[in-house]
Amino acid sequence: MSYVAPVKDMLFVLNELANLAEVNALPGCEDATPETVEAVLEEKAKFTSEVIAPLNWEGDKAPSYWHDGQVTTTKGFKEAFRMFAEAGWQGVQHPQEFGGQGLPKLVATPCLEMLNAANISFALCPLLSDGAIEALLTAGSDEQKAIYLENLISGKWTGTMNLTEPQAGSDLALVRSRAVPQGDGTYKVFGTKIFITYGEHDMAENIIHLVLARTPDAPEGVKGISLFIVPKFLVNADGSLGARNDAHCVSIEHKLGIKASPTAVLQFGDHGGATGYLVGEENRGLEYMFIMMNAARFGVGMQGIGLAERAYQKAVQYARDRVQSRDLAGSAGPVAIIHHPDVRRMLMSMRAQIEASRALAYVAASYSDMAHHHADAEVRKQKQAVYEYLVPIVKGWSTELSQDVTCTGVQVHGGMGFIEETGAAQHYRDAKILTIYEGTTAIQANDLVGRKTARDGGAVALAILAQVRATEEALAQSGDAQLQAIQHQLALGSAALEDVVKYVVANVKSDIKGVFSGSVLYLKLAGIVLGGWQMARAALVAHDKLQSGDADKAFLEAKIVTARFFADHILSAAQGMRSAIVDGSAGVMGLPEEMF
């Protein structure tokens, strides 16, 4: 088995750290009982291990290919997607009204992790559909919902996001695609979109492109962008497929990784104009697109965590099997390399970062559910603010660490890691896109500094830190040496983060470039401190359960050891990062451009 979902770890996080019981008690979340959730996870684990994971290496060896406007996906993908759709996996978190299961995001999140761990190239297709579904649910008309949602949620059709153009990557103000009203409520769309994930493929009957374009009199910049539905095949009044639309895939990219996922160049309107339908109001496209992007950003964070878990499992397997050199403490002959301290350190580093980022992401999902479903509007608002603070961290930090983890995964394999057939290198290559698409780490960090910290004067960040302090207090009072060692590093970390939040708030106006030169470091610092906080919470839970005689001793003790490792080896970087952010801008901005 190349991937076995860590269901026990996932359930521990859901139940002990992410308040599944509280979410289950929310209006509309009554189906998410502990028993149902466990059953869903077990089923998804089986499906991803048996059906999806084996296609991962196949997709790397024999990527999707383009011929004459058509894209043929890797052998097995089409059938697997049919099975995925038929089992209802596309609809886990979507409304029952349109055929979904209506489960909370907290339950959909481990499902998402598993699918991405099993096969990130495959998982991208439903991930983009999720984004399209979210956008239509929020901004689509009732008619649009009726036409598109059921087929997207059933997996009969898939969705795409069309933002990027050759001159407009991170900067959507530069979008040039045009949409010309036809007087009948429809538009003709013209333009070139690049980097369109699953922009063309053979796994579904229709593809619903959501496209950013400008109407003729739109203002310049981001305030003049509108969002359009441009289906590959037009949909007749009876729901059947009509004419082929003028949206064509002219090539796909030759990429470092995620090779089975076709990355399309789409040409709209080369043959008279692609028929498009406005979503919501004109010039509000960016706002709607952000709905898709926020869901997608959280999803990309989960991709990082899933991929890291996959790389970890592979490395552990190799470290158990590969026999090389004697044990340092003495042994008759060579031993499995898992006995060697540095191999152990590498595996712990992978494991600890995965557990921390998983816990933080699931906790964020739980906040999202409360923000959507809580009966009290004020509570919803508070929870939403925390969720929005966490999204750039989940996206940015989890993907950055996935590159570290997959790199370490190759390293554990030694020379074999560099041979493609081993498979460790694929994870390393795949991971590199995660810090780039759906907004680079710097874009996430700008969001964290600007919209999520400076705008409210650091209020949300400081409120979260007050919770961290409460955990520190509990650790200190535990009387346990391991927990107190964790407390020591967590306190240093939370102090560092508080300093940085205050520095950001105090200086963002007077020294904007200085503050933004530390933005990525701030994001990473927030990641390790808030991830470290989750590890500390896990250690506390484990400690309390052990005290009360819980029989699952080895599992609970492992939680404490892993939290200890995270504190000593990952969280211990916090003070240095603080100093780089607060004192380090002179070095960043001091060199004149021509001296590079």
- Catalytic site residues? 438
Q: Which long-range contacts (CB under 8 A, 24 or more apart) does 143-147 make?
A: 144/229, 144/277, 144/279, 145/98, 147/235, 147/239
Per the rule left: phi > 0, alpha: psi between -120 and 50, beta: everything else, 74 is beta
Q: Are 539 and 570 spatial neighbours (Cβ–Cβ below 8 Å)?
A: no
Q: Which of 435, 453, 471, 494 binds a copy of itself (CB under 8 A)?
A: 435
Q: Please report how close the Cβ of residue 570 comes to a copy of itself at its closest, in angstroms.
A: 9
C-beta closer to a copy of itself: residue 316 or 462: 316
Q: Please report how close the Cβ of residue 259 comes to a copy of itself at its closest, in angstroms.
A: 10
Residue 437 lies near a copy of itself (rule: CB under 8 A): yes
Span near a copy of itself by CB under 8 A; candidates 145-153, 223-231, 287-295, 428-436: 428-436
Residues in region 464-483 near a copy of itself by CB under 8 A:
482
Q: Which two tokens stand for residue 113?
A: 């992790």
Residue 589 lies near a copy of itself (rule: CB under 8 A): yes
Cα(75)–Cα(344) distance, integer angstroms? 38
Residue 529 lies near a copy of itself (rule: CB under 8 A): no
C-beta closer to a copy of itself: residue 54 or 450: 450
Residue 596 lies near a copy of itself (rule: CB under 8 A): yes
Q: Are 209 and 220 spatial neighbours (Cβ–Cβ below 8 Å)?
A: no
Cα(139)–Cα(289) distance, integer angstroms? 10
Q: Tokens 């001091």 map to which residue?
A: 590
Mark 290-319 with x for binding to a copy of itself (rule: CB under 8 A) and - for no binding.
Answer: --------------------------x--x
Residue 484 lies near a copy of itself (rule: CB under 8 A): no
Q: Please report how close the Cβ of residue 7 comes to a copy of itself at its closest, in angstroms.
A: 16
Residues in region 164-193 near a copy of itself by CB under 8 A:
164, 167-171, 173-174
Residue 256 lies near a copy of itself (rule: CB under 8 A): yes
Q: Which of 485, 495, 506, 546 binds a copy of itself (CB under 8 A)?
A: 485
User: How many of the chain's residues bind a copy of itself (CB under 8 A)?
Assistant: 104
Nearest Cα to Cα of residue 438 among 335, 336, 306, 302: 302
The b/e string for 473-493 (b: 16+ C-beta within 10 A; e otherwise) is ebbeebebebbeebbbbbbbb
Residues in region 493-512 near a copy of itself by CB under 8 A:
512
Span near a copy of itself by CB under 8 A; candidates 26-34, 100-108, 124-132, 348-356: 348-356
Cα(189)–Cα(228) distance, integer angstroms? 9
Residues in region 324-343 near a copy of itself by CB under 8 A:
324-325, 328-329, 334, 338-343
User: Which residue type occupies 472?
Assistant: E
Residue 144 lies near a copy of itself (rule: CB under 8 A): no
Supply the DSSP string of 298-328, one letter for each residue.
HHHHHHHHHHHHHHHHHHHHHHHH-EEEE-T
Residue 538 lies near a copy of itself (rule: CB under 8 A): no
